[in-house]
């Protein structure tokens, strides 16, 4: 039952299909299976760690609940992502050796983007709505949900990517316009679940 | 890039950041369903992006790439504070409706990605007008899609009632944003692609 609820949540509260967060990153992810798995994993790591760090900061400083504090949220969130980003680069360099050169551009791409930062903003709202209980487990669950949602839509897009870029599609719609329409149709399907 | 292909005006139409380069998609897809929202979003985007990219162009190039990206994000977050205050002063209701998409502009791909790949490889006297035309391109795309969606969803344009035979409530949702953006990208390609 828990697994079914989690899957429904991944689909119906998918950040890409309901909030369009991380669409550009998604297009990069769907180019190959390597990109897809690596970017999804990195976005999951950034989201989970980001949610935990910003959630803890929020529970101490209560920035979101004050009008003045809300103006400083981007600064706090950017600082939190920056710490995670730099730590991850140092750790990956130490752990991976030569492979680090291959994957570092994916770490750069995953750090500061709308998917991760949007997750941090929504983490507060979700905690406020008490879908997940506030606390490390709730923040972790929300971060994992974001990563799983990104992976799901990346898989859905990579499955049809060749067809959306093929000669069967009229030239002016080929590629990016077709991808947008396809995402629109997927988003419409999710929208019908939630109305 | 061939020098003969380059023009500072490209960002406005031929290489429009939204319609051709698929950057900063999330606020356009989700928020731009009225002209007023598009206007406030464009104003905030223009201020944050121009000030950040212009300021960050003075940061030493000797710094590591990751450190520079962190500094760009933090600079944008600092500029967000006065810009958000100004927006709230000018259009408080609209700012509330934009929600997290206003602070999300601080990590838009024009700041954290495109500036490194594109703008900072130019001389400053070329960079400034090029950046301005890219920003104008975003504003034009946001206003165009905001106008179309307001017309179709509410039967109004700039809050003035227009004699529309039918209005479609669903056009306000993200799925319609994706589909309309896809169609707009295709139209843009038809009009501005060089043979």
Give the pLDDT band (50/70/90) at residue B4. low
pLDDT at residue B103 is higher than 80? yes
pLDDT tier at B195, thresholds 50, 70, 90? low
Best interface-test mutation with B: which of A93, A150, A177 has the largest number of B CBs within 10 A? A177
Q: What's the mean per-residue pLDDT of chain A? A: 88
Q: Each residue of B137-149: pLDDT tens digit?
A: 999 999 999 999 9
Sign of CA dihedral B127, B132, B138, B144: negative
What pLDDT shows up at residue B31?
Answer: 93
Closest Cα in chain A, distance from residue B33 (Å): 14
A37 three-class SS: helix
CA distances (Å), origin A7, targets A10, A128, A145, A188, B61: 5, 22, 9, 18, 45
What does the pLDDT look like over A148-158, one tens digit per residue? 999 999 999 99
pLDDT class of A131 with cuts at 50, 70, 90? low
Preferred mutation among B71, B80, B104, B168 to probe A, highest tally of A CBs within 10 A? B104
Residue B168 tokens, joined:
């479609």
pLDDT higher than 80, residue A9: no
CA distance A195 to A90: 45
Q: φ, ψ for residue B157 (rounded to 5)? A: -140, 120
Cα A118 to Cα A138: distance, rounded to the nearest angstrom: 17
Q: What tokens does A33 get? A: 């299976």
**B160 phi and psi angles, rounded to 5 deg:** -100, 135
Q: Find chain A residues with C-beta within 8 A of B81's C-beta.
A: 71-72, 75
Residue A118 has pLDDT above 70, yes or no: yes
* Tens digits of residue pLDDT in A47-105: 999 999 998 888 888 887 788 888 999 999 999 999 999 999 999 999 988 889 889 99
A179 and A187 in contact (C-beta within 8 Å)?
no
Q: Using a CB-CB distance cutoff of 8 angstroms, which residues of chain B are in contact with residue A191?
A: 170, 173-175
**Nearest one of B87, B112, B121, B95 to B27, comparing CA atoms:** B95
ipTM beyond 0.85?
yes
Q: How far is CA B179 from CA A132, A181, A193, B97, in A?
A: 32, 4, 18, 22
Nearest C-alpha of chain A: how many angstroms from B22?
7
Identify the pLDDT of residue A14. 87
């Amino acid at each position: 039952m828990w697994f079914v609820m989690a899957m429904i949540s991944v689909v119906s509260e998918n950040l890409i299909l309901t909030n369009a967060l991380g669409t550009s990153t998604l297009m990069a992810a769907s180019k190959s299976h390597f990109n897809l798995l690596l970017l999804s994993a990195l976005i999951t790591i950034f989201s989970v760690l980001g949610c935990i760090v910003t959630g803890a900061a929020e529970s101490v400083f209560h920035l979101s609940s004050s009008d003045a504090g809300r103006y400083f949220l981007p600064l706090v969130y950017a600082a939190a992502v920056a710490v995670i980003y730099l730590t991850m680069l140092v750790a990956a360099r130490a752990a991976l050796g030569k492979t680090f050169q291959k994957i570092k551009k994916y770490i750069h791409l995953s750090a500061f983007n709308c998917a991760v930062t949007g997750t941090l903003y929504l983490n507060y709202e979700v905690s406020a709505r008490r879908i997940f209980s506030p606390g490390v487990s709730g923040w972790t669950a929300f971060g994992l949900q974001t990563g799983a949602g990104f992976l799901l839509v990346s898989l859905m897009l990579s499955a049809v990517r060749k067809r959306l870029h093929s000669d069967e599609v009229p030239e002016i719609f080929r590629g990016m316009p077709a991808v947008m329409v396809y995402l629109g149709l997927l988003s419409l399907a999710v929208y019908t679940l939630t109305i | 890039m061939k020098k003969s292909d380059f023009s500072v005006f490209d960002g406005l139409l031929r290489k429009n950041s939204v319609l051709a380069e698929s950057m900063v998609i999330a606020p356009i897809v989700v928020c731009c369903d009225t002209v007023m929202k598009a206007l406030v979003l464009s104003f905030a985007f223009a201020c944050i992006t121009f000030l950040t990219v212009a300021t960050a162009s003075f940061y030493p190039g000797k710094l590591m790439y990751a450190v520079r990206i962190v500094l760009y994000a933090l600079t944008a977050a600092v500029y967000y504070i006065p810009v958000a205050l100004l927006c709230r002063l000018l259009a408080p209701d609209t700012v509330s409706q934009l929600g997290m998409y206003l602070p999300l502009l601080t990590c838009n791909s024009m700041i954290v990605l495109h500036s490194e790949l594109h703008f900072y490889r130019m001389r400053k006297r070329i960079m400034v007008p090029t950046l301005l035309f890219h920003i104008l391109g975003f504003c034009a795309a946001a206003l165009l899609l905001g106008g179309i969606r307001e017309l179709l969803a509410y039967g109004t344009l700039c809050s003035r009632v227009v004699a529309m035979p039918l209005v479609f409530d669903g056009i306000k949702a993200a799925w319609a944003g994706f589909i309309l953006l896809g169609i707009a990208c295709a139209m843009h390609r038809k009009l501005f692609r060089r043979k």
